[in-house]
Amino acid sequence: MADIRTIGVGNPGVKSSSFNSTSFQKKTRSKLLSIPGTRPSVQNGQLLVSTGVTSLDFLLGGGLAVGAVLLIEEDRYDSYSRMILKYFLAEGVVCQHELFLASAQDSPDDILKELPSPIMDDVAIPKPMEQPRLSSDPQDSLEAMKIAWRYQNLPKVQSTLTSSSRFGHYYDVSKTMEAEIQQAAKCHRFYLPDHPNQTAPTHSPMLESYSALLKSLQEVIQKEGFEVSKSRNILRIGLHSLGSSLWGDDLCCCDNPKHAHALTTFLYGLRALLRSSLAVAVVTVPSHLIQNRALMGRIAKLCDTAIALESFKGSEMETNPLYKDYHGLLHVRQVPHLNCLASQFPDHRDLAFKLKRKQFSIERLHLPPDLSETVSRVSRVELPGAASTASVCGLSTSANKHLDF
Amino acid sequence: MFTELNSILNTSPDKITQGELIVISERRCDASFLIHHFLSFYLRARCKVCFLGLVQSFSHYSAVSQRLGVSLVQAKEKGQLVFLEGLQESIAHLIPHEGKAGSDALNFIRDPTRGLQSLFELVRDSCGGPAAALGPEEEWGAPVLLVDDLSVLLSLGVSVGAVLDFSHYCRATVCSQLQGNVVTLVHCEEEEDDADDEGAEQLLRGLTHQCTLTLQVQGLPTGYCRDIHGQMEVCWTRRQPDGQQRLKKLFQYKVYDKGASFFARGTSSAVL
């Protein structure tokens, strides 16, 4: 694990607080590693990056740890998991990280064209309550303000994203990212059909497609200099739909797959590469196609963080009135504890998500209050899924004016 | 080192039992805090430790051990700790380059049918090294082998038989011959009767048959709880002729930042 605990939390106001109420400042060590788009975790000083979805960051304890792998178990039609992958890559573009995108199904260029557009106007709007600070570029010609002279010393509104030091941004899903912004980011692509099978005679359990991917990843990390000692930037790796048949794997097709250990060996190698470099990976796996639950458990164990998405589209839960505000359920399968003894699981395990235009929100699922006048004993609905911790719940859908005597 | 666990197991750094095979089994949860406990415990007891850290990097173990009061870096320098960092060494085998061979111990990654012989040779050389190799002023105690974790070898394609052979060889060398201890971690997925996880269940059954102490860790059967992270069943399989056979005890635990606390069922501090 990249031990970035040399970052002293020099400014205790990392998260908020425009009021400097204390003069306490932790002594910063001399080796400060400050990369845009990252921040140290409050729990153990680990370097975190944003996933692009602020509510997911909060769920994972502040963000995704650098050097770790996030596994997303895809929903049935791969709509929301793909959305999260795009948020992740878009966040990388905005924070000026480098990207690596691998896919067997769609060309990486197509995925990159669909990245959501960042919302620019929630960046650095100066509040009049703030203590006056020096303006960011002193070389600007100071036109003395005659009327609004109280605002003279406040920083100018910055509409470009490059100087944004915010952690986590918001994106507008209805628009795609403008081409100039997207092309400004450096992206390495791995499209499986471009890499024909080189039959190497090995007894390794890993498939050629995964070997080629691992080799390509290592080349990028070494050539672009993402190793811990040398790096000044983060590499964001997005691997789409690993384990599906298009990668040559038969995990999703057979009950007893021949290549049972191909994906697990690849994930082990991915973890090995990531622990020694400043990179983060998001891997999506079509887990609903994998019959062997134990194998899915092994795959999750080899990744650090694991979440599963279950969308309501096309299932009977779509019409369930309890779920009418949401698009699907989100299950947190695993939370890592890197460099510390205990992991911080989120307090609430019944979570549902909703993709709004400007936000992917993850909320705690709770029952609405029962507002009917009668106790609706007749209209009881059995709730499937994670929310059925209470065995049977009553829903006040129709006001059954049953007068029970 | 967790003092409560020491009193449960009736050991202390001054008085360790020898010739033990301890198996930690985790079922759909994470019991690596026990590995950290045993690592810091045996280092404090001045044993010579050979640690096969196959799933995490050295800096992770080092950071956690620092919180438990033991410095892995110093132990490595003094020669008390031999650490095999599985992740780093495996890269050379997973992405073969001409000219760079990588250490032999992990050559099963390239060809899992070969078995774990080279890994065993590493263990044997580091645990059974002659006393003359150590400095004249330091005299370490019994050798201890710690493996974290054994079931990742199954994920890398090694067969169950090969892993059981490896553990048998290690036990014969370290426990019987050198009068040391072996601590391994095995991860299982589903419940016992499920046919899905054949490999790991077989491995666990084989190891439980050979071992002297098992610590079975699993989550609470009623689901996730913030104050009680799970339950641990301690089972002594072999005792002195005067003691009882097969003593079992059940505890619940909670893992903190710098340790873990173990308590009898129903006596969690959140409840009382």
Q: For residue A263, which residues of chain B lie inside 8 Å, CB to CB? A: none
Q: Tell me if B218 sits within 8 A of B230, measured CB to CB.
A: yes
- State the Cα–Cα distance between residues A209 and B125, nearest whole angstrom: 37
Q: Tell me if A235 sits within 8 A of A97, measured CB to CB.
A: yes
Contact A341 B64 (CB under 8 A): yes
The answer to whether B59 faces chain A, any CB pair under 8 Å, is yes
Instruction: Determine the angle formed by the axes of helices B86-94 and A208-223, rounding to 10 degrees.
Output: 110
Q: For residue B152, which residues of chain A lie inside 8 Å, CB to CB? A: 268, 302
Determine what percent of chain B is predicted with pLDDT higher than 90: 50
Contact B95 A341 (CB under 8 A): no
What is residue A255's three-state secondary structure? Answer: coil
Task: Report the residue of A256, A339, A391 to disrupt the B interface, i.e. the one with the largest count of B CBs within 10 Å.
Answer: A339
| Residue B270 domain flag | no
**B169: burial class by Cβ within 10 Å (0-12, 13-18, 19+)?**
middle
In this predicted structure, the answer to whether residue B203 has a pLDDT above a threshold of 60 is yes
ipTM rounded to 2 decimals: 0.92
At residue B193 the predicted structure's pLDDT band, cuts being 50, 70 and 90, is low
Smallest Cβ–Cβ distance between A268 and the set B30, B156, B197 belongs to B156
Smallest Cβ–Cβ distance between A342 and the set B57, B113, B256 belongs to B256
| Residue B230 domain flag | yes
A205 to chain B: closest CA residue? B157
**Number of folded domains in chain B?**
1
- State the Cα–Cα distance between residues A404 and A363, nearest whole angstrom: 37
The Cβ of residue B18 has, within 10 Å, a number of other Cβ atoms equal to 14
Q: Tell me if A136 sits within 8 A of A179, measured CB to CB.
A: no
At residue B241 the predicted structure's pLDDT band, cuts being 50, 70 and 90, is low
Residue A316: its pLDDT value, please?
Answer: 81
Contact B190 A211 (CB under 8 A): no
| Residue B178 domain flag | yes
Smallest Cβ–Cβ distance between B155 and the set A264, A275, A389 belongs to A264
Beta-bridge partners for B83: B51
| Residue B272 domain flag | no
B190 to chain A: closest CA residue? A294
| Residue B239 domain flag | yes
- Calculate the CA A400 to chain-centre distance: 44
At residue B149 the predicted structure's pLDDT band, cuts being 50, 70 and 90, is confident
Q: For residue B91, which residues of chain A lie inside 8 Å, CB to CB? A: 218, 269, 272-273, 276
Contact B90 A342 (CB under 8 A): no
**Nearest residue to B45 (alpha-carbon basis) of B144, B172, B183, B173:** B144
Residue B147: its pLDDT value, please?
Answer: 94
Stretch 171-210 of chain B: residues touching chain A, C-beta under 8 Å: 187, 189-190, 194, 196-197, 200
Residue B189: its pLDDT value, please?
Answer: 82
The answer to whether B57 faces chain A, any CB pair under 8 Å, is yes
Contact B30 A339 (CB under 8 A): no
Residue B166: its pLDDT value, please?
Answer: 94
The answer to whether A215 faces chain B, any CB pair under 8 Å, is yes
Q: For residue B151, which residues of chain A lie inside 8 Å, CB to CB? A: 298
Low-confidence ranges of chain A (pLDDT < 50): 3-21, 25-32, 122-141, 158-164, 378-400
Q: For residue A339, which residues of chain B lie inside 8 Å, CB to CB? A: 59-60, 63-64
Type of residue at A213 = L
At residue B153 the predicted structure's pLDDT band, cuts being 50, 70 and 90, is very high
Determine what percent of chain B is predicted with pLDDT higher than 70: 89
Q: What angle do CA A244, A248, A252 make, to 5 degrees?
A: 35
Q: What does the pLDDT look like over B79-115, one tens digit per residue?
A: 899 999 999 999 988 888 776 777 788 888 888 888 8
Who contacts A179 (Cβ-Cβ below 8 Å, separation ≥6)?
none
Sole residue written with tokens 């009418």 = A324
The answer to whether B60 faces chain A, any CB pair under 8 Å, is yes
Q: How far is B110 from chain A (nearest CA, A)?
A: 5
Smallest Cβ–Cβ distance between A275 and the set B57, B109, B197 belongs to B57
The region of weakest confidence among B75-89, B189-203, B205-219 is: B189-203
Strands B181-188 and B230-236: unpaired
- State the Cα–Cα distance between residues A204 and B113, nearest whole angstrom: 9
Strands B48-53 and B143-148: parallel
Tell me the pTM.
0.82
Residue A399: its pLDDT value, please?
Answer: 43
Residue A123: its pLDDT value, please?
Answer: 40
Q: How far is B95 from chain A (nearest CA, A)?
A: 6
Sole residue written with tokens 């029952």 = A367
**How far is residue A138 from each of residues A135, A141, A147, A155, measured CA to CA in Å?**
6, 8, 21, 11
| Strand (E) or helix (H) holding A241 | none
Tokens of A265: 């060996």
Q: How far is B87 from chain A (nearest CA, A)?
A: 5
Residue B139: its pLDDT value, please?
Answer: 74
Contact A203 B110 (CB under 8 A): yes
Secondary-structure percent of chain A, ordered helix, strand, coil, rounded to 5:
25, 20, 60
Residue A224: its pLDDT value, please?
Answer: 87
**Domain hosting residue B95, numbered range:** 3-132+140-264
Peptide bond into B149 cis (omega under 30): yes
Q: What angle do CA B225, A81, A272 make, to 5 degrees?
A: 75
Stretch 147-176 of chain B: residues touching chain A, C-beta under 8 Å: 151-152, 154-157
The answer to whether B11 faces chain A, any CB pair under 8 Å, is no
Strands A328-334 and B260-263: unpaired
Identify the CATH number of the domain in which residue B84 sits.
3.40.50.300
Sole residue written with tokens 């998260």 = A15
Residue A403: its pLDDT value, please?
Answer: 67
B59 to chain A: closest CA residue? A1
The answer to whether A245 faces chain B, any CB pair under 8 Å, is no
Smallest Cβ–Cβ distance between A340 and the set B64, B96, B156 belongs to B64
Q: For residue B63, which residues of chain A lie inside 8 Å, CB to CB? A: 1, 3, 5, 339-340
Residue A382: its pLDDT value, please?
Answer: 41
Residue A138: its pLDDT value, please?
Answer: 42
Residue A36: its pLDDT value, please?
Answer: 82
The answer to whether B245 faces chain A, any CB pair under 8 Å, is no
Who contacts B239 (Cβ-Cβ below 8 Å, separation ≥6)?
B245, B247
B56 to chain A: closest CA residue? A1
| Residue B205 domain flag | yes
Residue B181: its pLDDT value, please?
Answer: 93
